Chain A
Amino acid sequence: MKRVLFLFKQRPLALVGIVVILFWFFAALFGPSLLSFTYSALDTDYQMTRPGEGGHLLGTDALGRDILTRILHGSRSILTVALLTSLFSTLAGVIIGFSAGYFGGRVDAVFLRIMDILMAIPPLVLAMVILGILGDSTIVSLTIMVSIAYIPATARVARGAMLTCKNYEYVDAARIMGESNFSIMFVEILPNTIGSIIVEATARFAYSIMMVASLGFLGVGLQPPTPDWGMMVIENKSIMMNAPWAVLYPALAIASLVIAISLFSDFVSKVLIHDS
């Protein structure tokens, strides 16, 4: 604990990251209920209003919808999808990567080929293909497709961690004391690799936000009228010269969250990995 505080002092930016992340979680949970507008309400008197006018703190878009309300609503879906994605892709990645690394040989070879194929396709393209199969974008389908797109990366990290750990003699000791492969993998080895896995999961969290925003930007994210940060950027692109705030604030929201998570992820890796 003392060491964590010491590291904090050395890296004040990590604190900034954590504050920003907490801000967004707080905003997603309570923000929408604190505001008087709804995300789809069209305020015909105030179209493309400057920030601050008519009670619209961050202005409105071309249809007169309140930008702040839409950003806060959008944070709910993006955080939900990103959290679930990093959770699922890490879980699946650990199971697949651990099995491949632990058993080696043919299991590993098959795994590596499949992962190579998946990795040869850019995640964004892969996500769009899976989306095509699953149909319309909903929070569930978005989560599934982004998770699948990120499994190869997390599985590789888990496999690498397993390869280092399985050569330790405590694994041999566990074997000749009659432990099952399952218990060696998930009881003996997992705790010793948890650091790098958590770091990978936090990094995936940041990537997922980028991915969800990109999909929204490309028009294959959540469907209107549900607010989506990426979609807000693209739908207001045409009015950017007249109402820059309509593009600027959603873009800032994406950037602030991604950078904050990256800072946090760096800090976590310092605490967890360099500690041992």
Chain B
Amino acid sequence: MIPDTILKLRCLGVSYRTYYGTVVAVRDVSLTLGENESVGIIGESGSGKSTLAYAIMDYLAANGTSTGEVLFKGENLLEKSRKEMREYRGNRIAMVYQNPYSSLNPSLTIGRQLDEVSLFHRNSSKDEARAASIEVLKDLYLGDAEGLVRRYPHQISGGMQQRICIAMALLCRPDLMIMDEPTTALDVTTEAVILDLVKDLRDRFKMSLIYISHDIGIVNKVSDRIAVMYRGEIVEIGPKKGIFDRPEHPYTRALINCIPRSGLVKEQVRLNTIPGYVRKRSAEEHGCPFVDRCGKRTSGCVERYGMIEQSPGHFAACDRAYAKDVPDESIIPTAAGPEAACQEGELLLKIEDLYKAFRSRGKTVRAVDGVSVTLHRNNVLGVVGESGCGKSTMGYTLSGLLTPTKGRLLFDGVDISISWKKRSKEILREIQHIFQNPGRSLNPSFNIETIIGRPMKRLLGIKSRAERRKRIEEILRKVDLGKEYLLRKATQLSGGEMQRAAVARAFAIAPDLIICDEPTSALDVSVQSSVLNLLSDLQYESAVAYIFISHDLHVINYISDYIMVMYLGRICEYGKRDEVISPPYHPYTEALLSAVPEVDPSLMKRTIRLEGSPPNPTKKIIGCPFAGRCHKKVGSICDTTPPPKVDFSESHFLYCHIPPDKLSTNGIT
């Protein structure tokens, strides 16, 4: 045993007995983790990342069995009894989970929950435990630790809750920390702060870290090495630079190329996609797990399979990522070409001073607080902002699910600031909405033909069943779903197929404007890219306009012609895509851009830390809404006076007190 190895997995396998037979969740995983080393595990959902973590902690469900060895400092954890495992869990190996809200007990104070760790593992007295809790909070740079321990989890923000969970994991100074998507539920600016913190803690406490994420950009920020998992196996592992620069396994390469990143825009390249979806694996299946979706497979892929060292420290189970005998399809220029960008049509939508307020417990929440913007035909307006910035509320007022409190919405000259009940059939047909979660937006009791056919019958007035079927088949072909999907129910489809069906439903009645409300956020990256390609193709073909709402700047950057950055119900910055993405920036845009994780590990950005969370939307804000968190705050003027509109070009403006010539002109990287 090499002395500085802390964890060694040897042929670890996990399988579950289910009604459908034995399903293999993790197979033959071997991994060595050195002291003070950090490995990131990436993969799509269903690839066994979390199961691997649970197997290390011996947290498997009752129908799961694990085989192989988990050697922690030379001792096999799988052979330990339940009682012995308590010594390890939380004490020497700690874990942080995805959703901080459900990992904290809502009825106990934060202090009590932190104290429990020391009381249980260290047999400390109550006072010692409390002192330790306060110390660990100070280690995490949480100000007012004494005040914090008296509060309950629901009284603090999500980012703060996750920091409490990290503090709890850190209390016993574990040798190994496992983090399972700890920032997935958080906003991008909060995520950046947490990732900085994790990096800092690693350096200070010399912990080993296993960081699980679906996003290679996040893993780049905190890990030295990256392991790529697919259907229960590690298919490639190596230094992050090596993995990004020269992925050897076709899956790794495909996965990396799927992700929208800075510089990728719709008029230049199509995003790479991986056909098919992640299937469950039975115990009988052998060979390469990726073989059914791989474009580079050979006849030998099923028999010959095993890890080979490609370059020092970089192992991959396959090296056909750049195989010359099959055409390389990873970078395909868009059919549309550069001229597709900004084919400006006539004015379609004019939003004039839109307000939307909700009454909540006697208080008024201003969700949208004075937004004015226009949209032309054939354009895509990307709306980006953190959760709670009012972007979805704006979308809902446009589709009529909410009515504006104040202001006017003019669609093709018609006032549509009324609810769906009062809208004419014509308007209902012209404005469509694609929802975030296709599993919830398609009626689970209907088959695809009914789902797409109902609005056709009602809004296009096509009474003949045969005529409808012909049209439905045609639209399904456009979204790459075959005839065989007509009679399938939504619940029998995978996430990507469901969203395609939802897109088909929206396009089936030839609308002029589609509100895409985070249409890819619930999907895996490989599926996200195919849906983005599809949306982009259909938009170009049919010249429809999109309002594309997303929290992901890379996605917005890829698909939009215009970008609007929102904060607390107001516009911060608006302009053509390239005008917003490049300096001069609004300080908030700058912070957002700096926080977005990058796929390329050599693109190191200086992160702007935004502390705290957006202010309480029930309070009337007189000055700039961003003043409280702004890293470039001018002075008291920001709090007392609304920021002036600063125009940079005909299309580009932002709201800020900083004189135009003083706004940062440097890029982020």
A188 touches B459 (CB 8 A): no
Q: Which of A6, A176, A188, A192 has the most CB of B within 10 A?
A: A176
Q: Is there a chain A Cβ closer than 8 Å to B443's Cβ?
A: yes
Do A179 and B443 contact each other (CB < 8 Å), given the known contacts A6-B19, A172-B401, A173-B433? Answer: no
Q: Is there a chain A Cβ closer than 8 Å to B440's Cβ?
A: yes
For B442, list chain A residues within 8 Å (CB). Answer: 170, 173
Residues 1-55 (chain A) with a chain B CB within 8 angstroms: 3, 6
Q: How large is the interface on A (under 10, 10 to 19, 20 to 34, 35 or more residues)?
A: 10 to 19
Q: Is there a chain A Cβ closer than 8 Å to B348's Cβ?
A: no
B440 touches A178 (CB 8 A): no
Interface string of B399-432 (1 = CB under 8 A from A): 1110000000000000000001000010011011
For A176, list chain B residues within 8 Å (CB). Answer: 399-401, 420, 428, 431-433
When chains A and B are docked, how far (Å) is the Cα of A179 from the Cα of B446?
15
Q: Is there a chain B Cβ closer than 8 Å to A241's Cβ?
A: no
B401 touches A175 (CB 8 A): yes
> Can you name the residue of chain A whose Cβ is closest to the Cβ of B399?
A176
Do A170 and B428 contact each other (CB < 8 Å), given the known contacts A176-B420, A179-B458? Answer: no
Residues 175-204 (chain A) with a chain B CB within 8 angstroms: 175-179, 188, 191-192
When chains A and B are docked, how far (Å) is the Cα of A33 from the Cα of B467?
56
Q: How many residues of B contact A (CB 8 A)?
A: 28
In the assembled complex, the CB of B351 is this many whole angstroms from the nearest CB of chain A, namely 18
Q: Is there a chain A Cβ closer than 8 Å to B330's Cβ?
A: no
For B446, list chain A residues within 8 Å (CB). Answer: 191
When chains A and B are docked, how far (Å) is the Cα of A170 from the Cα of B440?
6
Do A173 and B435 contact each other (CB < 8 Å), given the known contacts A168-B440, A276-B444? Answer: yes
For B400, list chain A residues within 8 Å (CB). Answer: 175-176
Q: Is there a chain A Cβ closer than 8 Å to B441's Cβ?
A: yes
For A169, list chain B residues within 8 Å (CB). Answer: 435-437, 440-441
B444 touches A178 (CB 8 A): no
> Can you name the residue of chain B whose Cβ is closest to the Cβ of A194?
B445
Q: Is there a chain A Cβ closer than 8 Å to B455's Cβ?
A: yes
> Can you name the residue of chain B whose Cβ is closest to the Cβ of A177?
B455
When chains A and B are docked, how far (Å) is the Cα of A178 from the Cα of B399?
11
When chains A and B are docked, how far (Å) is the Cα of A169 from the Cα of B490?
14
Option from A172, A175, A179, A191 in Cβ contact (under 8 Å) with B454: A179
When chains A and B are docked, how far (Å) is the Cα of A276 from the Cα of B489?
12
B420 touches A170 (CB 8 A): no
When chains A and B are docked, how far (Å) is the Cα of A177 from the Cα of B432?
8
When chains A and B are docked, how far (Å) is the Cα of A173 from the Cα of B399?
10
For A170, list chain B residues within 8 Å (CB). Answer: 440-444
For B459, list chain A residues within 8 Å (CB). Answer: 177-178
29 A-B pairs within 8 Å (CB atoms) are namely A3-B19, A168-B440, A168-B441, A169-B440, A169-B441, A170-B440, A170-B444, A172-B433, A172-B435, A173-B433, A173-B435, A173-B441, A173-B442, A175-B400, A175-B420, A176-B433, A177-B455, A177-B509, A178-B420, A178-B428, A178-B455, A178-B458, A178-B459, A179-B454, A179-B458, A191-B445, A191-B446, A192-B445, A276-B491
Interface residues of A (CB under 8 A from B): 3, 6, 168-170, 172-179, 188, 191-192, 276
6 more contacts with CB within 8 A, not counting A169-B437, A175-B401, are: A172-B435, A175-B400, A176-B432, A177-B458, A177-B509, A178-B458
